[in-house]
Structure 1
Amino acid sequence: MELIKTPFGFSSTAAEVAAGIDLSGRRAVVTGAASGLGIETARALAGTGAEVTLAVRDLEAGERVAKDIRVTTGNTALHVLPLDLTDPASVAEFAAAWDGPLHILVNNAGVMASPETYTPEGWELQFATNHLGHFALATGLHDALAADGSARIVSVSSSGHQLSPVIFDDVNFAFRAYDPWLAYGQSKTANVLFAVEATRRWAADGITANALMPGAIFTNLQRHTDGRGSGSTPSELMKTPEQGAATSVLLATSPQLEGIGGRYFVDCNETPTIDRRGEVPRLHGVARYALDPANAVRLWDLSERLLAA
């Protein structure tokens, strides 16, 4: 299968990727849109004329962002709604309140390398936030996405997925010593596997999902890491938030991705599958286990069981 190549690359910005795209009359949801990449993703989508809902924990911050986006884009169709991905009731309430079709869902919110923390359900925080909450949101919004006929889900992953596959027998570190980076890596692998299985299950409903690595960007995501990520990143590999949001916006809007799902992109292009770290340039490559269909099915089934418990 030939890798998808686009005219865009490392330095492209979200605005450049969205230039000339008209999404008037279409609706998008961006999680974690009150900070970092979420802001620039929402801004670029609003710039296309789409109606954009900012799904955020901090409503005050979300309203400030929405006001700024209205000013910079001229688009007044901006909404702010509460969403706490670690709280199943909050996710269910968001999905139940949604009315009408949904064309684009950007699963952008996340936490990185957080101290050992568990939700009231006993779920490890990074797995709960980065994967389970988004899984519950997407499945809860399935009918709204299916109503469009050509809806897209964008799953924001990371090169950190190369740190760990999903450890199905111990996702919540009940038997392993907790390691914040292994937990992060596992959750980011889950983001890719979700895109694989969502596309397989829902393509007949006109829903496709793709995953991506946004790049190395200094945002609030690094609050537990002193801004250093999983290792020192050379300055020439760092991106601005506008550049970091570009691949998300590409997957949400590009005509080249129409009907295509279950793939993983870096710097606005599909990246090679690898069997070990170091096979491709730093921050590129998707581990084979993250695209494995059997792993994707197993994760979906596990996620349903956890949420039903």
Structure 2
Amino acid sequence: MSLIRTPFGFASSAAEVAAGIDLAGRRAVVTGASSGIGVETARALAAAGAEVTLAVRDTGAGRRVAAGITSTTGNAAVRVAALDLADPASVAAFTASWDGPLHILVNNAGVMACPEQYTPQGWELQFATNHLGHFALATGLHAALAADGAARIVVVSSTGHQMSPVVFDDVNFAFRPYDPWLAYGQSKTANVLFAVEATRRWARDGITANALMPGAIYTGLQRHTGGRGSGRVPPELIKTVEQGAATSVLLATSPLLDGVGGRYFVDCNETETIDRRGDTPPLHGVARYALDPDGAQRLWTLSQTLLARTPLAQAVEAS
């Protein structure tokens, strides 16, 4: 299977990727769209004519961003809804309130390398926020996505996935010392595995899901790391937020991705599979374990089990 190549690359912006795309009549949800690349992802989709819902924890910040997007794009159909991905009740409320079809779901929100924290359910916070919350959101919106017949899910992962596979026997660090980067890496691997299994499981509904590495961009995501991420990325490889949103927008809109799912993209192109770190240039490559179909199915089952006693149980079990 050949890798997908596009006319875009490292320096492309979200606006450039979306140029000429008509999303009139399409509806999109972007999580974490009150800051960082989520804002520019939502802006590009709105500029292309989509009705965009900003799913955010801070609705005040979301409303300010929505007003800015409307001002710059002329699109008044930019809405704001409360969503806390670490709170199953919040996810359940969001999915229950959604009405009608959904064409694009961008799982963009996330936390990175945060101090050791656990949700009331006992879930490690990065795994809960980056993976479980988005898993619950997508499964809760499955009927809306299926109603479109060709819906796309965009999953923002990271090259950090190369730091750890999903440790199925101890996802919540009950028996191993907590390490913020291993926890982050595990959650980002889970993002890719979700895209693999969602595409397989929901193919009959025309739903595809792809994962991506947006690049190294300095945003609020780095608040636990002194504002500079891992500190290992050369300055010339740092992107603007407009460039960082480009791959998300490509996966959400490009005709080149029609019917394509379960893949991983960097710099607007599908990247190669690697078996160990160091085989490829910085930020490129997807670990083989992140694309493993057996691991993807195992993660889906584990996620259903973890969510079984939450307000989302009925929607999760049905998906």
The interval holding the TM-score normalised by the smaller chain is over 0.9
Q: Distance in 2 between matches of 1:87 and 1:229?
A: 26
Give the equivalent residue in structure 2 for 1:14: 14
Superimposed CA distance per residue, residues 142-168 of structure 1 (whole angstroms, 9 cap, x where no aligned partner): 000000000000000000000000000
Q: TM-score, normalised by structure 2?
A: 0.96
Give the equivalent residue in structure 2 for 1:215: 215
Does residue 151 of the first structure (1) align with residue 151 of the second (2)?
A: yes
Give the equivalent residue in structure 1 for 2:261: 261
Give the equivalent residue in structure 2 for 1:245: 245
1:268, CA displacement in angstroms?
Answer: 0.0
Give the equivalent residue in structure 1 for 2:317: none
Give the equivalent residue in structure 2 for 1:24: 24
Superimposed CA distance per residue, residues 54-102 of structure 1 (whole angstroms, 9 cap, x where no aligned partner): 0000000000000000000000000000000000010011001000000
Identity rate, percent: 81
Give the equivalent residue in structure 1 for 2:316: none
Give the equivalent residue in structure 1 for 2:71: 71
Q: Distance in 2 between matches of 1:230 and 1:306?
A: 30
1:231, CA displacement in angstroms?
Answer: 3.2
In structure 2, give the amino acid aligned to 1:24.
A
Q: Distance in 2 between matches of 1:143 and 1:49?
A: 23
Give the equivalent residue in structure 1 for 2:142: 142
Give the equivalent residue in structure 2 for 1:119: 119
Q: Is this contact kept in 2: 1:26–1:102, CA < 8 A?
A: yes
Q: Equivalent residue of 2:44, what SS?
A: helix
Q: Distance in 1 between matches of 2:226 and 2:7?
A: 34
Q: Is this contact kept in 2: 1:152–1:252, CA < 8 A?
A: yes
Size of the alignment, in residue pairs?
309
In structure 2, give the amino acid aligned to 1:98.
W
Q: Is this contact kept in 1: 2:233–2:282, CA < 8 A?
A: no
In structure 2, give the amino acid aligned to 1:191.
N
Superimposed CA distance per residue, residues 87-118 of structure 1 (whole angstroms, 9 cap, x where no aligned partner): 00100110010000000000000000000000
In structure 2, give the amino acid aligned to 1:197.
E
Large movers: runs of 4+ above 3 Å: none
In structure 1, give the amino acid aligned to 2:53.
T
Counting only pairs closer than 5 Å after superposition, residues 1-309 of structure 1 correspond to structure 2 as 1-309=1-309
Q: Is this contact kept in 2: 1:181–1:230, CA < 8 A?
A: no
1:203, CA displacement in angstroms?
Answer: 1.1
Q: Distance in 2 between matches of 1:228 and 1:108?
A: 19
1:230, CA displacement in angstroms?
Answer: 2.4
Q: Distance in 2 between matches of 1:81 and 1:228?
A: 30
Q: Distance in 1 between matches of 2:78 and 2:227?
A: 30
Q: Distance in 2 between matches of 1:280 and 1:42?
A: 31
Q: Distance in 2 between matches of 1:61 and 1:231?
A: 28
